[in-house]
Amino acid sequence: MTKRPRRNHSPAFKAKVALAAVRGEKTLAELAQQFDVHPNQITQWRSQLLDGVAGVFGSETSAAAAAPVIDVKTLHANIGELTLANDFLEGALDKAGLLPSARR
């Protein structure tokens, strides 16, 4: 008996199989045959789906906590520093005659 190579299923495929298992219209054996995966794998995907479904209806604070905090003042300061350094280097290259004529 030859061993089947390891397959990586897309998240969309996993969701499709897990939703079919949650619906319960077919048995695990029928789903396993239809989607060509092991019944234990379907059970795992189904439990992952059911565990994660509560997060869809989670509170707004959890969604806000997941978003990174952006400090706009720091970003503007970095832009200013980089612009200053760029202008300085452009002037130095221009004085040295190394700046291409298209940039002058």
- What is the per-residue pLDDT across 7-21, written as a single tens digit (0 to 9) for each? 899 999 999 999 999
What pLDDT is attached to residue 82? 97
pLDDT at 16: 95
23-80 confidence digits (pLDDT tens):
999 999 999 999 999 999 999 999 999 988 877 777 655 555 666 788 899 999 999 9
**Is residue 86 included in any domain, yes or no?**
yes
**The 3-state secondary structure of 30-88, one letter per residue:** HHHHHHCCCHHHHHHHHHHHHHHHHHHHCCHHHHHHHCCCCCHHHHHHHHHHHHHHHHH
My answer on whether 13 and 49 are in the same domain is yes
The structure tokens 């806000």 sit at 64
Domain for residue 61, yes or no? no
79: domain range? 70-104
Q: Are residues 74 and 49 part of one domain?
A: no
**pLDDT at residue 102, as a whole number:** 67
**Average pLDDT for 75-104:** 89
Tell me: do 14 and 43 sit in the same domain. Answer: yes
**Residue 91 structure tokens:** 């002037």
Give the HSE-up count for residue 99: Cα atoms under 13 Å, Cβ half-sphere. Answer: 15
Q: Phi-psi category of 36—alpha, beta or left, where left has phi over 0 and alpha has psi -120 to 50? A: left
Under 8 Å between Cβ of 44 and 28: no
How many distinct structural domains can be found in the chain?
Answer: 2
Q: Are residue 24 and residue 49 in the same domain, yes or no?
A: yes
Q: 60 lies in a domain?
A: no
Determine the Cα–Cα distance for residues 11 and 14; give it in Å rounded to an integer. Answer: 5
pLDDT for the residue 103: 60
